[in-house]
Amino acid sequence: MIFIAFQTGCTVNNKVTEAIPKTVSDSNAGAALDKVVSDHPAIKEETNTKSDNKDILPALKDKIICIDPGHGNPNHAIEYEPIAPSSNIMKPATAYGTSGITTKIPEYKLTMAVSLKLKDELLKAGAKVVMTRDNNNVDLGNIERAEIANKGSADLAIRIHADGIDDSSVTGISVLIPGNQYIEDEKLLSNSKIAANQVLGSLIKRTHAKSRGLAARDDLTGFNWSEVPVILIEMGFMTNPDEDKILNTDEYQDEIANGIVYGISSYFTTLEAQ
């Protein structure tokens, strides 16, 4: 069995979202294969009960969206889990993520703030929402996160992250999608790509940030265990002083949340037109 230790962090280019690998070996790593979620108390599905809401988007009506605020505040020893159901490669189940070079705010707090705004906007638009976590005292493994979306019968899973890199001049938004190394479900792969394109376009339109495009990833546990279409949004670089500051403002977070909502709506509209 292959066992991989990772540094924490989140990036598209020089740093990976769930971690950066350094290979070691461990003959007991197979025990982590049993660490598949069976009875995790997932956050209950939430629905907007207002019948007179004028912000309803028809394409989002009753769609189930799972929001996964990236990372968390690890308060336990690091556990390891297989990168995919068919893989012997092991990765840490949790990672701290990056942090603001100027604000010093950790990524897990930023992703939580944006995710809560996104939840509110989706509920207003008529969608149903399942959260993998709803506070910063929860730290979940990536298999657990995927299983919450799977068991919640999500129509789409949205993973919210921010980026970090050694070069402080780098900025922009990117969206990651599942690769096909471990995933054979062509519809899942195709729909994930459609969703990513629609959401990225909507985000760039509203934020005017630099688009860093889409990136297919085979190394993300949260992708490889997903049974529903899934995308991961890198909202910007917390290692860029200016982008770090703006990412942590209410106004910009509102634009991100709205951009995602309208992107998701466009995704479902596109599917209906096919």
**pLDDT (mean) for 105-132:** 97
Domain hosting residue 124, numbered range? 38-76+95-273
**pLDDT (mean) for 144-170:** 98
pLDDT band at 211 (very low <50, low <70, confident <90, very high): very high
Q: Is residue 22 part of a domain?
A: no
**Does position 34 have pLDDT exceeding 70, yes or no?**
no
**pLDDT (mean) for 133-137:** 91
Q: Is residue 182 part of a domain?
A: yes
- Concatenating the DSSP letter of every residue in the chain gives --EEEEE----SSSS-SS-EEEEE--TTGGGGGG---SS--PPPPEE---SS-TT--GGGTT-EEEEEE------S---EEESSTT---EEES-----B-TTT--BHHHHHHHHHHHHHHHHHHTT-EEEES-SSTT----HHHHHHHHHHTT-SEEEEEEEE--S-TT---EEEEEE-SSS---HHHHHHHHHHHHHHHHHHHHHH-PPEEEEEEESS-HHHHT-SS-EEEEEEEETTSHHHHHHHTSHHHHHHHHHHHHHHHHHHHHHHHH-
**pLDDT (mean) for 237-255:** 98
* Beta-sheet pairing, 173-178 with 20-24: unpaired
- Number of domains within the chain: 1
Lowest mean pLDDT among 33-47, 118-132, 141-155: 33-47
CATH of the domain at 260: 3.40.630.40
**pLDDT (mean) for 204-214:** 98
Q: Is residue 268 part of a domain?
A: yes
Q: Is residue 12 part of a domain?
A: no
pLDDT tens figures, 67-83: 999 998 877 667 899 99
Of 42 and 116, more confident: 116
pLDDT of residue 47: 64
**pLDDT (mean) for 135-164:** 95
pLDDT of residue 26: 29
Q: Is residue 89 part of a domain?
A: no
